Amino acid sequence: YKRQVMDAAVAILMIGMGLAIAGIWTRDILVGDRVDLSEGLFRARDAKSGTLFWPHWLAEYSTAALLTVSGIGLLADVSWATLLAGIALGALFYTSTNSLGWAFAERERFSYAGPMIAGIIVSLVGAGHLLLR
């Protein structure tokens, strides 16, 4: 029973993180003043640094999709969900840790640090649970 409760808790946290990542990026793309879309979506750049966004967006949205799909799979108790969840949690750990430097680089980005720290915590708790179950 305890394993099922933890599986559900981890799955819900994963789905929440997946939806949050997709939501934050979609909001930033549509509303944010940091994204220069003047040359189109695949040539979009950070308005300040000029960094090309699509490779980062691919990683972020892929992580979001993996988290959501594997979280749903864990809730449904399907055989492939544990492996996919492990991959998704690893991607979440990487993207959250990597993006933390971006959040700390400029004062106006600091509000993003909280969700990134939450991502690190969810990835570690989730991976620990999957390894010990």
Q: What is the mean pLDDT of the chain?
A: 94
**Closest to 45 in 3D by CA, of 55, 27, 106, 101:** 55
Residue 49 has pLDDT above 90, yes or no: no
70 touches 81 (CB < 8 A):
yes
pLDDT higher than threshold 90 for residue 41: no
Residue 32 scores a pLDDT above 90: no
- Find where tokens 């972020």 sit: 60
Q: Mean pLDDT across the stretch 119-129?
A: 97
The fraction of the chain above a pLDDT of 70, given in percent, is 100
For residue 87, what are its two tokens? 């991959």
The more confidently predicted of residues 48 and 101 is: 101
